[in-house]
Amino acid sequence: MSGTELAPFGAHEYLLALSRALSRNLDLGTVLHIVLEEAVVLLQADAGFVALRLPRTNMRVVATTGLPLETARAFEPLLNSIPQHSETADDTPPWWKQPALQRALLRIARRQQLPFTHIIAMPLEVDGDVIGALIAFRSSERAFTRYEERLLSGFADQASIAIRNAMLVRQLVQERERLAAVLANSADGVALINAERRIELINPALARLSGWNLDDVVGQPFEHVLRLENEAGVRLPAPAPHSDLVRQEGYLIRRNGTRGPYVSVVYTPLAQGRGMVASVHDLSERRALEASQRAFIAGISHELKTPLAIIIGYAETLLRDDVQWDEATWREGLHVILDEAQHLTRLVDNLLDAARLEAGGLQLHLEPVQLDEWLPRVLSEFARAHPSHHFDIALDGAAFPPVMADTGRLRQVVHNLLSNAVKYAPADTRVSLRLTYDDARGELIFCVSDEGPGIPLEEQERIFRRFHRVEGEASRTEGAGLGLYMARAIVEAHGGRIWVESEPNRGATFCVALPAADDNAPKRTIRIRPIDTTE
Ligand code: ADP
């Protein structure tokens, strides 16, 4: 043994101390650093690196000493030839001792202009799997000895276990972070309940639904947090311990005791009685849609039946054999029949439009339109047919660029807004149409204002939904709750926006903004996509 080699006793102590240092550390970066630095000291080498076979990748250099990471990367292709499992003993020397590998490694070192003359390589193995390799270089004339090889081999065993443990910890941490991210971003509420039936954690969605915060909730009996009651206010029983999958539906009672959203809760037991997972899905939107659909069917049958009853009534009366009607009575009767038939036609057209919209079958034929010329025409036409109200128009500005619009469909939007104003605002009040050009946003905006009952704040978003009608005064007028839904679909298909501004009893102002277009923009046809009404 040459004088520069460590005495066997010293080496063992050293390995022991090293193993202690490694087992205290679970951070992969730190473990790799210790392994590499200590190996280089142990072997009196000048440089070295550790490569690992990371999940789903080839061998990657993950730590270096005495040479830059980028330079060490040049060895990676060669390392991929390392077998995945440790070799069984036979005549041929293991890969890390093969002269060809030594030569190839040295060739790469020379190409990288590294001054290395000797190389020693050692696999990092755990349970027969090669998880990586440790390579050390020397620049001096002194070759690595057999003793040093054995020393490194003993060292590599310790290092491999420490690295594998650190990799497992990192994997666990990553998995926990991934799970936490999934839970944090899930739209559904999730609660983890332990074997003592107490809350271990809830995600932000459940915190929002239940009014509990993420910290206070930990350790609470789960039935304090997931309190459900039915329509009649009767508490639903919490699932019995050890029950199989349980599904419940009801109103979630918030932390402050108020009735929260209507939810479904699914309790899934964990294996070996380790508790359960509750997933909480908010059903309020779906229930609201179902309720408005039920209201629609109730409403629409009334809407369809009333004009039909009037038509049939008048037709039967006029056809009576026992009475001779005079000309005026005939004419009046026929007018009523015509009015009601026209009303039915509008209703059926609206329903068909909505059905076609849902099937994605409505098209827009866009062409440049000067709103400052077109809107006054549409308004005066409408005003003539509605003498009950006073109409005025204001063009706010001198020059208006055109918009790309389908005039047939845009007329439908304007008519809907004007008809609503006439329908909901009392007779003899004022309905105003106003056009402006927002140069900064590049938008033309027109607004219809009335002096009617207005729309409560909480309804202002919902009235654009399919079949939605405001309860109360408005719902006593005729209508199917489809007009604004269609208007929104048409305006959005034009690349525009529609909204309402209103304070109760101060009237409503419906505005439409459409993007300004070039004068010579070509005509084109686009398809209207259905809007999502559940958002
Ligand atoms: P419809 O008028 O056929 O019911 P709409 O979709 O046009 O359907 O309107 C939806 C609801 O919005 C109406 O039922 C009404 O409650 C409310 N609404 C619309 N316009 C006005 C308005 N100008 N003033 C007050 N309420 C309105």
283 CA distance to ligand 1 middle (Å): 25
Which residue's CA is the nearest one to ligand 1's atom 11?
469
377 CA distance to ligand 1 middle (Å): 24
Query: pLDDT band at 4, cuts 50/70/90?
Result: very low
pLDDT of 479 over the 80 cut: no
Q: How far apart are CA 137 and CA 45, in angstroms?
A: 6
Report the Cα 185 to chain-centroid distance in Å: 8
The dotted CATH code for 363-527 is: 3.30.565.10
Three-class secondary structure assignment of 261-307: EEEEEEEEECHHHCCEEEEEEECHHHHHHHHHHHHHHHHHHHHHHHH
Taking residues 393-399, report their average pLDDT: 92
DSSP string, 60-121: EEEEEESS-HHHHGGGHHHHTTS-SBPPPP-SSPPGGG-HHHHHHHHHHHHHTT----EEEE
pLDDT of 233 over the 90 cut: yes
Digit-coded pLDDT (tens) for 443-455: 999 999 999 999 9
Taking residues 466-489, report their average pLDDT: 75
Name, in order, each residue with C-beta under 8 angstroms of 504's C-beta and a sequence gap of 6 or more: 453, 454, 455, 456
Digit-coded pLDDT (tens) for 456-474: 988 898 889 877 777 765 4
48: tokens are 């070295």
pLDDT of 311 over the 70 cut: yes
- pLDDT of res. 82: 79
52: tokens are 């690992």
Domain 286-358: CATH class, spelled out: mainly alpha
User: Which secondary-structure segment (H or E) carries 337?
Assistant: helix 327-358
Phi-psi label, residue 428: left if phi above 0, alpha if psi -120 to 50, beta otherwise: left
- Which range, of 125-139, 150-164, 287-301, 308-322, averages the lowest pLDDT? 287-301
464: tokens are 């654009």
Percent of the chain topping pLDDT 70: 94
Query: pLDDT band at 25, cuts 50/70/90?
Result: confident
Give yes or no for a contact between 86 and 93, defined as CB atoms under 8 angstroms apart.
no
- pLDDT of res. 7: 46
Name, in order, each residue with C-beta under 8 angstroms of 518's C-beta and a sequence gap of 6 or more: 368, 401, 402
pLDDT of 326 over the 70 cut: yes
DSSP string, 161-195: HHHHHHHHHHHHHHHHHHHHHHHHH-SSEEEEE-T
Candidates 448, 459, 463: which one to mutate for ligand 1, based on the most atoms within 8 Å of Cβ?
A: 463
pLDDT of 421 over the 70 cut: yes
For residue 467, count CB atoms less than 10 angstroms from its CB and return exposed for 0-12, middle for 13-18, buried for 19 or more.
Answer: buried
Name, in order, each residue with C-beta under 8 angstroms of 511's C-beta and a sequence gap of 6 or more: 445, 446, 447, 498, 499, 500, 501
Q: Do domains 8-180 and 286-358 have the same CATH topology?
A: no
Name, in order, each residue with C-beta under 8 angstroms of 339's C-beta and a sequence gap of 6 or more: none
424 CA distance to ligand 1 middle (Å): 7
Compute, in degrees rounded to 10, the torsion defined by CA atoms 137, 141, 147, 148. Answer: -20
CATH 3.40.50.300 fits 8-180, yes or no: no
- pLDDT of res. 477: 65
Query: pLDDT band at 300, cuts 50/70/90?
Result: confident
pLDDT of 475 over the 60 cut: no
Q: How far apart are CA 488 and CA 499, in angstroms?
A: 9
Nearest-atom number in ligand 1 for the CA of 350 is 3
Query: Which residue would you say has higher pLDDT here, 82 or 509?
Result: 509
pLDDT of 391 over the 80 cut: yes
Maximum pairwise Cα distance, the chain: 137
Digit-coded pLDDT (tens) for 44-63: 999 999 999 877 778 899 99
Q: How far apart are CA 69 and CA 61, in angstroms?
A: 7
Query: Which residue would you say has higher pLDDT here, 522 or 515?
Result: 515
DSSP 516: B
The dotted CATH code for 187-282 is: 3.30.450.20
Query: pLDDT band at 88, cuts 50/70/90?
Result: low
336 CA distance to ligand 1 middle (Å): 25
Phi-psi label, residue 532: left if phi above 0, alpha if psi -120 to 50, beta otherwise: beta
- pLDDT of res. 226: 96
- pLDDT of res. 92: 66
Taking residues 222-233, report their average pLDDT: 94
Mean pLDDT of the chain: 88
Q: How far apart are CA 282 and CA 260, in angstroms?
A: 10
The pair phi, psi for residue 152, each rounded to 5°, is -65, -40
Candidates 484, 498, 500, 509: which one to mutate for ligand 1, based on the most atoms within 8 Å of Cβ?
A: 484
Locate the domains of the chain by residue range: 8-180, 187-282, 286-358, 363-527
CA of 343: how far to CAs of 308, 324, 420, 480, in Å?
10, 29, 15, 12
Taking residues 301-323, report their average pLDDT: 89
- pLDDT of res. 3: 37
Residues flanking ligand 1, CB < 6 Å: 416, 420-421, 424, 450, 452-453, 455, 463, 468-470, 474, 479-485, 508
Q: String of b and e for 431-442 (b: at least 16 CB within 10 Å)?
A: bbbbbbbeeeee
Digit-coded pLDDT (tens) for 491-510: 999 999 999 999 878 899 99
387 CA distance to ligand 1 middle (Å): 20
Q: Residue 526 forms beta bridges with which residues?
A: 364
- For 347, the 3-state DSSP assignment is helix
pLDDT of 288 over the 90 cut: no
Query: pLDDT band at 89, cuts 50/70/90?
Result: low
463 CA distance to ligand 1 middle (Å): 7
Q: Residue 497 forms beta bridges with which residues?
A: 513
Candidates 432, 469, 482, 486: which one to mutate for ligand 1, based on the most atoms within 8 Å of Cβ?
A: 469
Query: Which residue would you say has higher pLDDT here, 198 or 286?
Result: 198
Q: String of b and e for 252-290 (b: at least 16 CB within 10 Å)?
A: bbbbeeeebbbbbbebebeeeeebbebbbbbeeeeeebe
Name, in order, each residue with C-beta under 8 angstroms of 507's C-beta and a sequence gap of 6 or more: 425, 449, 450, 451, 452, 454
479 CA distance to ligand 1 middle (Å): 8
519 CA distance to ligand 1 middle (Å): 35
Name, in order, each residue with C-beta under 8 angstroms of 421's C-beta and a sequence gap of 6 or more: 389, 431, 448, 449, 450, 452, 508
